[in-house]
Amino acid sequence: MVKTVKMPFTPRPVDPRAEGVLAEIVSITEAMKEAEKVRKGEAAKRARLISQARKFGVSLDRIAKEMGVTRERVRQLEAGK
């Protein structure tokens, strides 16, 4: 059996400006989470549109040229990668 030893905890003083910084960290983190949701939605929309263009007979080369990427990248985007 492991014996636990309680150590006294003495909180150190924190600069009063820390609360504002912490609030800003939380705010930015929430904004980044929301932006990630939007980015994922836009990526899925792009993949659907690439698939739709391919069904209409548009080549990977044509899509790649329009997007300014390689045809391999277009293939990856269509696959959702």
Comparing CA positions, the residue from 44, 73, 43 lying closest to residue 61 is: 73
What are the tens digits of pLDDT across the range 55-66?
A: 999 999 999 999
pLDDT beyond 70 at 1: no
Q: Residue 60 contacts by C-beta under 8 Å, 6 or more apart in sequence?
A: 54, 71, 74, 75
Task: Give the pLDDT confidence of 10-55 residue by residue, as tens digits.
Answer: 888 888 889 899 999 999 999 999 999 999 999 999 999 999 999 9
Q: Are 54 and 78 in contact (CB under 8 A)?
A: yes
Model pTM above 0.85 = no
Contact indicator for 63, 50 with CB cutoff of 8 Å: yes
| Mean pLDDT of the region 74-81 | 91
pLDDT band at 3 (very low <50, low <70, confident <90, very high): confident
Give the residue extent of every domain in the chain. 34-78
